[in-house]
């Protein structure tokens, strides 16, 4: 039995951080205003000029059917600390399945190549392991996207499988 309050239906403490930080980023939970603006195609002043990207549009449109993605271990916006602008998003596809949870990420073109994706991926994977049911964080990338594979390698993930038929590679990290 836990000695601290937990989120109903989970073993997660109620005092999980809302924001996660790295040296250069804040990983902030999506707000309903963010979701509504992305879905409606409305621009918010705290977004980089090239946010949202196509992947952000897809994710925002799926939140209604996947409410766990907006929870403490769900999806987050990448906020560049120096500018305060949203420059991408990252998320865990919650809940875990048999101890594994998938991670996905995207950084707007104007901020690619700066290491933001690896920095955010490393931090969110670390946070994923605060959930007792998570034993592995994994991602699947298209073989045609070597930059995404480099993101994962720099974040400490290791290549575990290539599917030549699907033309994908699976990477994972364990605590």
What is the topology classification, in CATH, of domain 20-173?
Aminopeptidase (3.40.630)
- Site of tokens 């040296």: 23
User: If pLDDT is split at 50, 70 and 90, which confidence band does 63 have?
Assistant: confident
Q: pLDDT tens digit string along 137-155?
A: 999 999 999 999 999 999 9
User: If pLDDT is split at 50, 70 and 90, which confidence band does 45 have?
Assistant: very high
Mean pLDDT of 110-129: 97
pLDDT greater than 60 at residue 54: yes
Q: Cα separation of 152 and 169, whole Å? A: 11
Q: pLDDT tens digit string along 12-43?
A: 444 566 899 999 999 999 988 899 999 999 99
For the chain, the domains span: 20-173
**What is the pLDDT of the chain when averaged over all its residues?**
90
User: If pLDDT is split at 50, 70 and 90, which confidence band does 8 have?
Assistant: very low
Closest CA to 131 of 152, 103, 151, 158: 103
And the tokens for 55?
A: 């992947």
Pick the more confident residue, 65 or 130: 130
Non-local (6+) Cβ contacts of 153 within 8 A are 159, 171
């Amino acid at each position: 039995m836990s000695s601290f309050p937990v989120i109903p239906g989970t073993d997660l403490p109620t005092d999980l951080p809302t924001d996660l930080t790295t040296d250069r980023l804040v990983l902030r939970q999506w707000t309903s205003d963010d979701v509504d603006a992305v879905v409606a195609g409305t621009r918010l002043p705290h977004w980089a000029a090239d946010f949202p990207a196509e992947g952000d549009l897809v994710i925002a449109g799926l939140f209604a059917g996947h409410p766990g993605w907006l929870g403490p271990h769900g999806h987050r916006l990448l906020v560049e600390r120096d500018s305060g602008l949203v420059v991408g998003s990252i998320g865990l596809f919650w809940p875990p399945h048999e101890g594994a949870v998938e991670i996905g990420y995207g950084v707007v073109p104007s901020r690619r190549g700066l290491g933001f994706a690896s920095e955010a991926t490393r931090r969110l994977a670390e946070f994923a392991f605060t959930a007792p049911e998570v034993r592995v964080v994994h991602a699947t990338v298209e073989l045609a996207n070597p930059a995404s594979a480099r993101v994962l390698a720099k974040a400490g993930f290791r290549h575990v499988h290539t599917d030549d038929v699907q033309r994908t590679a699976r990477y994972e990290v364990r605590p």
